[in-house]
């Protein structure tokens, strides 16, 4: 339930930012921050205090850049090395932006449930 609430809020924010043509890296960072914040706060509610803290990690799984990573490997196997490396770099930056968003939320709100 905690993951559903946090992921739902994060997906809503991501859709709003995408509709505003926000830079994808900033979009991923803000979305990860929102997902971690919501799941951390929901875990602090007494009713959900016994819930697993893995829900904080599960709430950001929507931000895993699976397609760019798979496409980068496929491009490199097909011989398009430059395109593959470019897609791999973009996927790596998206992952880094997600990590920054998670770390930012944990630092600002003092969420130690995940660590």
pLDDT in tens, the chain (115 residues): 999 999 999 999 999 999 999 999 999 999 999 999 999 999 888 888 777 778 888 999 999 999 999 999 999 999 999 999 999 999 999 999 999 999 999 999 988 766 5
**Are 42 and 5 contacting, i.e. CB atoms less than 8 angstroms apart?**
yes
Structure tokens at 10: 């994060």
**Are 57 and 113 contacting, i.e. CB atoms less than 8 angstroms apart?**
no
- Please report the sign of the dihedral spanned by the C-alpha atoms of residue 71, residue 72, residue 73, residue 74: positive
Residue 8: what pLDDT? Answer: 96
pTM assigned to the model:
0.89
Helix (H, G, I), strand (E, B) or coil at 50: coil
**Are 42 and 105 contacting, i.e. CB atoms less than 8 angstroms apart?**
no
C-alpha distances out from residue 111 to 1, 20, 37, 80, Å = 19, 29, 8, 43
């Amino acid at each position: 339930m905690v993951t559903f609430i946090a992921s739902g809020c994060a997906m809503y924010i991501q859709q709003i930012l995408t509709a505003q043509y926000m830079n994808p890296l900033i979009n991923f960072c803000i979305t990860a921050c929102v997902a971690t914040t919501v799941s951390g706060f929901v875990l602090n509610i007494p009713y959900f205090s016994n819930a697993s803290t893995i829900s904080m990690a599960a709430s950001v799984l929507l931000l895993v850049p699976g397609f760019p990573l798979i496409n980068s490997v496929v491009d490199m196997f097909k011989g398009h090395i430059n395109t593959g490396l470019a897609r791999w770099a973009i996927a790596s930056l998206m992952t880094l932006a997600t990590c920054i968003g998670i770390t930012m939320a944990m630092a600002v709100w003092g969420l130690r449930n995940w660590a």
